Structure 1
Amino acid sequence: MKKLTLKEIAEHIGGTFNIDAEFTEVCIDSRLCKPGCLYIAIKGENFDGHDFTASAFANGASAAIVHHDVDADGPMLRVEDTHKALMALAHWYRTTFDIPVVGLTGSVGKTTTKEMTWFVLNEKFNALKTEGNLNNNIGLPRTLLRMDEDTQAAVIEMGMSNRGEISELSLIAEPTIAIISNIGVSHMENLGSRENILKAKLEILDGLRENCPILLNGDDPYLAGAVIENHPVIYYGIDDKTCDFRAVNIEQCDESTEFDIVYDGKNQHVVIPTIGRHNVYNALAAFGTGVQLGVTAEEAVKGLAKYTPSGMRQRMKTLNGIKFIEDCYNASPDSQRAALKMLSEMKAERKIAVLGDMLELGTISEESHRNAGLLAAKAKVDVFMTYGERSLASAEKARECGVCEVYGFTDKKALADKLFETLKPGDAVLFKASRGMALEDVINDLYGRIK
């Protein structure tokens, strides 16, 4: 970040300081503090950062923001609420940059869209992006505070669990262009209906700067029907022929997808190094955003070709002739449907689906898990395995729908044993579950045995 002083930030976010000091980085973990760092003592449910202020200074922190007296010596800014101070600091700091800021949200695909958008923009700009899943009211401010004199654009992901959260994040980031990928049933447990989820996602408009555009998935009935005022709306999609950016001639290869994007009377061929129709939507959003921000079609295509899945999202690996699709970061009915469709379109001797529980579905959990079994049958999987108590309903439904080999497990080792016994060269196996199920434990167990 740019060099700042306690005096300077006090003028913008309030508070009183004892001694002025300079800093070029913000940190909320005392263990990671170093010279030139501003330590912000955040209080969480199970910890209080104030208890570690002395440790932060011992590790080299140049200054600290605190709420109350602490047993430590050093330059400190005292504020009413350190978390609010972090958000206020990030908002003010963001306003010191006159650069494109992409704000994006959605029920499914926002991290992949974020990554693809970053690859597209990085062909023209020195672009910053949200790292990992730092998309809440602590992570987003920290991302903005990483901007420096060389930053020419930023791609900011916004997550949420309840109403009001996207609004808060958008008002901090003040995006100059926004994306909503889709309206699914993630967080149904908290919000109760897709209509409420739509309202929550549309809160991104609260901080979107005046007259700046928003890109919406035109094939999503909730987004297609949303009333947007005071902002140009750009639609992208596959099925709706009226979309501003539309994918046609989609062809899935072993580890890539090819298609043409029709827009503004033009036709651009695109190849993305991942598979699945859902990723075509993500690429459309990234391409459309790039075009809006002055990236050429050629630059956008080059950027999309560099995309690599992050973390445990749709990562593909081949061992001993077996194709593994690791998608264990998150799961919802919508993303599960997309993953099964992707598996069904793959070329393989046998197609094996391993699905774990989907969490936070509230009253639709039982229905959603049973429907997963139906979707597995429609995808014509050869072997269907599940992990978790909720997913036993998926296994039961798959049996009812005629899937020949179905196994339900609540023990990871038993699942890994059965998979190791079952898998053979030529198979393609999909792993999909909510993050809380830690299905990667089974994958790592298998990799250890196969190697």
Structure 2
Amino acid sequence: MIDLTLAEIAAAMNGRLVIGGSVDSVSADTIVSGESQTDSREVKAGQIFFARRGEETDGHLFVAKAVDAGAALLVVEREVDDRVPQIVVADATIALGQLATAVVHRVRAAGELTIVGITGSNGKTTTKNLVAAMAERRGSSVASEKSFNNEVGGPLTMLRVQQDTRTLVAEMGASAEGEIARLTAMAPPSIGVVLTVGLAHAGEFGGIETTFRTKSEMVRDLPDSAVAVLNRDDPHVSRMAELTQARVRWFGLHPEAHVRASDIDSDAAGTRFTLHIDGESAPVNFHVLGEHHVTNALAAATVGHELGLSLGEIVDSLQSATKAARWRMEVMGGRDGVTIVNDAYNASPDSMAAGIRTLAQIRKPDGRSVAVLGAMSELGEYSIEEHIRIGLQAVRLRINELVVVGKEARQLHISAINEGSWDGESVFFEEQDEAFDYLMSTLQPNDTVLVKSSNSAGLRFLGDRLGEAFA
């Protein structure tokens, strides 16, 4: 974070500064510049600890641990440990966002900060990582860590900005209407990216039209000096061009896209395609597995072009990427020719379908395709229908074996066996340990295995175990 006095921090969040009697050599003019944390286990010396009240716990219970770890400032909703200065606020989560807003505004007013906001039902983290790598080529940059994209993770990322930061790459997610608007108000994007509008989180949003309205918050308030980077292949995203004052830049496979791909070819080593940007073309050897990630690469390339990178720099950056992100089409294994593709960090119907298509494409001629699938969460009323659809797809793409794990995904298994095309090629286990033992006893040389589920199903850990077993 930039240097701010305790008084300035308190003013930014409309808080009351309290300096206890046991605090020596500290005044309202004392400067704090450490990062902010909401988890006491992550606190390091000189940092700010925000004692948030969550659904399951209360950050005030962990104040002492934060102070013991070296916290220089506490943001609290009631006075607590007086060993360090405290700022008392009405709501610590709101205060976190207020401080982030103030820091971003100050840096932007004093320097050349470009803010890139990225949202979409699928592909946010992968695209964010690709854009962040390109942004590094133009100077100091800050990007969301992991999947920090909500009312807490977003501000924590923004508060890492320094005076010399040239680019802030912010992943912006939502589980309800208004959340992306709040994030964009904290850090108004110069470049707003919308990737897809799909059924991810449909149970929370209540339907595709609500998802459309929520994701369109990214571009609705962009000024005419900003750029809206939109997916020309997604009909819902395409509609957003009518809702923004910003200059629109299309990406996708559509011939009207300003940044597009052709000649796409995929295998277990990655994806090759020709990249076209405003009349220039170049081949790309993209090492990230799965044709669906070409869309993310095109979005990143569009942003890179807007940031001033040349076609050659964009291609070099894309070719330097080795994987999308941890647990996202992560290639593991190798012993006996067995390939494990661990893609179990998130799963929506669209990404699950894309993963199964990729598995069918990359299966080795002398090996089998094995799909280890768990539940897709947060689908609400669409859950049964979408699990049925994925089971049918696995059969129709001739996946050699389907291993379904977890009772929440049982409908997927039932759908596959009801299709009638198989005879015992779909099996079901309630527990991961049972599935692991089964796979270890049945996998054959040169098999290709996709492990895919929503984060809550936890199959990423099963994928890790298989990857280590066949390392």
Normalised to the residue count of structure 1, the TM-score between the two structures is: 0.95
* Secondary structure in 2 matching 1:219: coil
In structure 2, the CA distance between the partners of 1:379 and 1:90, relative to structure 1 (3 Å rule), is same
Residues in 2 aligned to 1:450 and 1:260: alpha-carbon distance in whole angstroms: 34
- How far did 1:6 drift? 1.0
Instruction: Kindly report the root-mean-square deviation, in angstroms, between the aligned alpha carbons of the 2 structures.
Output: 1.9
**Which residue in 1 is equivalent to 2:422?**
403
In structure 2, the CA distance between the partners of 1:323 and 1:78, relative to structure 1 (3 Å rule), is same
Residues in 2 aligned to 1:92 and 1:276: alpha-carbon distance in whole angstroms: 40
Which segment drifts farther, 147-156 or 49-58? 49-58
- How far did 1:398 drift? 2.0
Give unpaired runs (5+ residues) of structure 2.
Answer: 19-26
- How far did 1:207 drift? 5.4
Which among 309, 312, 316 is matched to residue 324 of structure 2? 309
- How far did 1:444 drift? 3.8
Tell whether 2:341 aligns with 1:325. yes
**Which residue in 2 is equivalent to 1:230?**
245
Q: Is residue 38–residue 64 contact of structure 1 (8 Å, CA) maintained in 2?
A: yes
Give unpaired runs (5+ residues) of structure 1.
Answer: none
Which segment drifts farther, 117-126 or 134-143? 117-126
Structure 2: which amino acid aligns with 1:182? T
Which deviations, in whole Å up to 9, do the C-alpha atoms of 1:215-236 show, x marking residues without a partner?
1111111112332231111111
Residues in 1 aligned to 2:311 and 2:163: alpha-carbon distance in whole angstroms: 27
Tell whether 2:124 aligns with 1:110. yes
Q: Please show how residues 135-284 of structure 1 align to structure 2 within 5 Å.
A: 135-205=149-219, 208-226=222-240, 227-238=242-253, 240-284=254-298
**Which residue in 1 is equivalent to 2:384?**
366
Q: Is residue 126–residue 151 contact of structure 1 (8 Å, CA) maintained in 2?
A: yes
Structure 1: which amino acid aligns with 2:70? G
In structure 2, the CA distance between the partners of 1:325 and 1:106, relative to structure 1 (3 Å rule), is same
In structure 2, the CA distance between the partners of 1:87 and 1:333, relative to structure 1 (3 Å rule), is same
In structure 2, the CA distance between the partners of 1:207 and 1:145, relative to structure 1 (3 Å rule), is farther
Structure 2: which amino acid aligns with 1:323? T
- How far did 1:260 drift? 1.0
Which deviations, in whole Å up to 9, do the C-alpha atoms of 1:13-66 show, x marking residues without a partner?
322324423211123333443442222222222333234334433433222222
Normalised to the residue count of structure 2, the TM-score between the two structures is: 0.91
**Which residue in 1 is equivalent to 2:460?**
440
Structure 1: which amino acid aligns with 2:177? R
In structure 2, the CA distance between the partners of 1:35 and 1:352, relative to structure 1 (3 Å rule), is closer
Structure 2: which amino acid aligns with 1:388? G
- How far did 1:242 drift? 1.1
**Which residue in 1 is equivalent to 2:62?**
52
Q: Please show how residues 66-105 of structure 1 align to structure 2 within 5 Å.
A: 66-98=76-108, 99-105=113-119
Which segment drifts farther, 416-425 or 201-210? 201-210
Which deviations, in whole Å up to 9, do the C-alpha atoms of 1:152-206 show, x marking residues without a partner?
1111001111111111111112111011110110111122211110100011135
Q: Is residue 220–residue 244 contact of structure 2 (8 Å, CA) maintained in 1?
A: no
Residues in 1 aligned to 2:284 and 2:467: alpha-carbon distance in whole angstroms: 33
Tell whether 2:32 aligns with 1:23. yes
- How far did 1:447 drift? 4.3
**Which residue in 2 is equivalent to 1:384?**
402
* Secondary structure in 2 matching 1:345: helix
- How far did 1:390 drift? 3.5
Q: Is residue 383–residue 403 contact of structure 1 (8 Å, CA) maintained in 2?
A: no
Structure 2: which amino acid aligns with 1:75? P
Q: Is residue 452–residue 460 contact of structure 2 (8 Å, CA) maintained in 1?
A: no
Which among 335, 338, 346 is matched to residue 362 of structure 2? 346
Structure 2: which amino acid aligns with 1:442? L
Residues in 2 aligned to 1:140 and 1:113: alpha-carbon distance in whole angstroms: 16
Which segment drifts farther, 122-131 or 286-295? 122-131
* Secondary structure in 2 matching 1:96: helix
Q: Is residue 226–residue 247 contact of structure 2 (8 Å, CA) maintained in 1?
A: yes
* Secondary structure in 2 matching 1:122: helix
Residues in 2 aligned to 1:393 and 1:46: alpha-carbon distance in whole angstroms: 30
Residues in 2 aligned to 1:423 and 1:34: alpha-carbon distance in whole angstroms: 45
In structure 2, the CA distance between the partners of 1:422 and 1:100, relative to structure 1 (3 Å rule), is same
In structure 2, the CA distance between the partners of 1:449 and 1:259, relative to structure 1 (3 Å rule), is closer
Residues in 2 aligned to 1:317 and 1:447: alpha-carbon distance in whole angstroms: 5
* Secondary structure in 1 matching 2:276: strand
- How far did 1:379 drift? 1.8
- How far did 1:115 drift? 0.9
Tell whether 2:355 aligns with 1:336. no
Residues in 1 aligned to 2:363 and 2:54: alpha-carbon distance in whole angstroms: 48
Question: How much identity, in percent, do the aligned residues show?
Answer: 32
Aligned residues: 450
Tell whether 2:432 aligns with 1:412. yes
Structure 2: which amino acid aligns with 1:41? A
Tell whether 2:7 aligns with 1:7. yes
Tell whether 2:144 aligns with 1:130. yes
**Which residue in 2 is equivalent to 1:41?**
51
Which deviations, in whole Å up to 9, do the C-alpha atoms of 1:48-90 show, x marking residues without a partner?
3234334433433222222222242432222222221110000
Which segment drifts farther, 154-163 or 409-418? 409-418
Residues in 1 aligned to 2:460 and 2:416: alpha-carbon distance in whole angstroms: 23
* Secondary structure in 1 matching 2:243: coil
Structure 2: which amino acid aligns with 1:406? S
* Secondary structure in 2 matching 1:408: strand
* Secondary structure in 2 matching 1:393: helix
Q: Is residue 370–residue 393 contact of structure 1 (8 Å, CA) maintained in 2?
A: yes
